[in-house]
Amino acid sequence: MRSRRGKPQEKVHQLDGEKRGRNAMKKEETSAIKLIQGSKMEIFLQTMHTLFEIDRREKASAR
């Protein structure tokens, strides 16, 4: 397969033996990164929510 500039497009080997172009690989990497970042953010938000909840309970019991 050739790119627009006439240079042969390099194919990258996958673990499953399938060959994909660099753009397809990049898209997969990007979506994986977004998924990881999203789950990290979710964990962070859950942690903050828990901390605020604990803080609120401590303040309520101190009164």
Residue 35 lies in a domain: yes
Q: How many domains does the chain have?
A: 1
Helix (H) or strand (E) run with residue 20 in it = strand 19-21
pLDDT tens for 17-36 read 667 777 888 888 999 999 99
Mean pLDDT of 49-60: 96
Residue 29 lies in a domain: yes
pTM over 0.75: no
Whole-number mean pLDDT of the chain?
83
Neighbours of 11 (CB within 10 A): 14
Q: What is the pLDDT of residue 47?
A: 97
CA distance 25 to 16: 13
Residue 54 lies in a domain: yes
Higher pLDDT, 13 or 26: 26
Residue 32 lies in a domain: yes
Mean pLDDT of 2-27: 69
Please answer whether residues 8 and 1 qualify as being in contact, where contact means their C-beta atoms are separated by less than 8 angstroms: yes
DSSP alpha helix (H) spans, the chain? 22-62
> What is the domain extent for residue 45?
11-62
Residue 1 lies in a domain: no
